[in-house]
């Protein structure tokens, strides 16, 4: 029975990591799109795009470290 609990916990961790990583990547894409469409953010476009790249990389790193993919 303990093996089933361990497997369930691993799947939950993978699902959670995938959701967090995907949310960070989607957020990064949204930041880049916003810098092109909203004039107020266009002034800081470079800063926002650097943040977007960092967010996407961090999401990928979190996915890799939590799931091993």
Mean pLDDT in residue range 44-61? 74
Domain that holds residue 46: 2-67
Please give the share of the chain, as a percent, with pLDDT higher than 70: 59
Alpha helices in the chain (DSSP H): 2-37, 39-42, 45-67
Average pLDDT, the chain: 71
pLDDT at 9: 61
Residue 55 near residue 21 (C-beta atoms within 8 A): no
CA distance 40 to 30: 15
Instruction: Name, in order, each residue with C-beta under 8 angstroms of 58's C-beta and a sequence gap of 6 or more.
Output: 24
Rounded to two decimals, the pTM is 0.50
User: What's the domain count of the chain?
Assistant: 1
pLDDT at 69: 57
Q: pLDDT tens across 3-28, in order?
A: 666 556 665 666 676 777 777 778 77
């Amino acid at each position: 029975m303990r093996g089933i609990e361990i497997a369930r916990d691993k799947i939950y961790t993978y699902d959670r990591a995938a959701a967090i990583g995907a949310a960070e990547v989607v957020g990064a894409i949204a930041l880049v799109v916003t810098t092109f469409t909203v004039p107020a953010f266009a002034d800081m476009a470079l800063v926002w795009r650097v943040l977007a790249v960092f967010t996407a990389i961090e999401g990928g790193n979190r996915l890799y470290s939590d799931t091993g993919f």
